[in-house]
Chain A
């Protein structure tokens, strides 16, 4: 779905337009001409010429169609009264409906035989007159209008009227079993508003802004912010919708001609399949898709940084050290927020279109789609695909998919495996809530405004997303001189980044497919939040959360294993999922460490001594299936991502039995983005100090089953997660050495009950 470019419909307008539609594919536009008469132009399988409908207008017209073949047009006459003309098997004469108008009228209809007309009166208030088996008198709806109104009905018994208030903001009044009070919707208008609705519950309002551009605000479960649609308007806009996902906007341009811009659904014409990179490479490391990708990377890398379709520009959209050129949207990535998934889906989608164009320009393959790297599989699929470890392409030229250490982890480039506790998405997939709060942990991140680094990462973002970033990248250094994947401002420069994010995107689809209450947010703040990218032609494009919830129908791609069987199998083996009850109070602290600890690449165990006042509470919670025990790792600080993560285990002090170790693994601490936390120029919510929260209930259950649960003391172990050598081999010492760089400080480890 997208806004089409402005197109001129010619004519010489001396007023703003009015527009109606009586069916899908039909538009009727009305304007005042240079002779002050009403002029008409319509669209049905193509645009008609202009026709004059006579009259002498002293305002712009308003029009509405209550049924197929019927149009009602209103305008102010030379006597300042409201005049009316309608079409039904031919045009009527003009009739006067009286009143004294000080603005152009607005009209809407909620059904056949019903008309509601609005205009500003001599007292600057909004006045209303309606038709239903005859015309009513005028009634005042109050308010003080700076200009004319806009009105629309989304269904029987519902009217939404919009005006520009004395503060130049948009004001709104609703009729639904009576008129509501006035509500301000903000903004700074320089024209009357125009309104349209394509279905019940949907409103689209348009007006000229202070920059004379067309601005748009919409309602769907809540009001969006204002969105600029560009252009230079010299009149108020008019808008109409002939059906779902279609809006047509009209206004006079600086050349006095009628200009038209419309929103339409462009259903994907192709359905691309994103395939497993290892499956593609089964017989040849450089299968046609991978080879095409490598060549496209070369093409993009050769483009200048200022080109929005270049490799460096696209990487900088995620993050970059250099300052962005004027107008560029760099450093826009969304992490530790509920926008993590939709932003990255949009980002990878448009980037894939750029790559595909480069691939097609080079001759194909025509079905090119970005592969994904599903590392949550047995050796060798948990190692980097071979094309990413091979220095040259089949033709002997340099392979742009290859990055040597230190820009990628030496261990991974030597064939190292990602360990299972770094790649498993099972814990995240078991969650049924997309966002938090009220739940302390979530699949998709904490509710927040758009932010590059928020305060609350979702569990899938932590593992595998963050952990894989760190292990593949290794230690960061300088400005993209170390591990690229480990640094937010360098990660997208590594070609494997895109396969990693393709996999994360796939897992989002898999999570939805699991059902059991797993749904995307229905909040307007999530659905209507828009983000800006560039398409394959370098044109600026915008998508909202609501635009990317269905990859097949909206974006034209699917994954070859939808849903992922391995994850399905893991989650299916777990007890049936019931939506967790909403906690009535915040998690309550039961115990915490007394001193900070440092992580320097070795295993560390800390002990939490429960005060006597907490023991009963913790013991009760451990025995109560409806309650949960949480481990929080707080005030995590560090200068740089050390290029490794830490697996977190719940233990009893001195325990050596490892039979339940897998169940006692409650999650991983990751450091992707930690360097931004110390940068005052980077927007993030957490201020220096990340916080990870893990559900430890299952781990405590495991201890209780073995009679090893000691409510007096809980041990929490941090164990480094690094690449494993290939089976039966050893990695070279320089590849296995843990060089964590600056230590990571953890302020406190806490045990909470909820």
Chain B
């Protein structure tokens, strides 16, 4: 198995954000491994997702439910649809473990979600745990730590 270069990891993270911004959600879902998860903690420095409440902790089934819902004819909270926009810092490679097939990147970002006249700005850090699966990089875990994870938040309907 050919190990990804640092540039492969960086390009992957940047591409992933682009797919969300362009609403290419089917392609985006394909970036997750079958056992992949998307996690958005509720608490600062949260370490547990099973017995501590999170904003999101979703496997592929739950992510696909969201993606299907966004398309739904009777999804009134998406009529009109939300739009979003990522600004990423260059992803930093925190870990390269070729033997264990585990690669971790850390990406500070700003994320804007808008709908109608409302526009909300969020600041967050995305931590991607990636692995090579059948010759392609896949997301094992995307963890999004909001800077204001414990604030009173408006609805977040898309993906950071």
Do chains A and B stick together as partners? no
**Which residues in B have some Cβ–Cβ distance to A below 8 Å?**
none
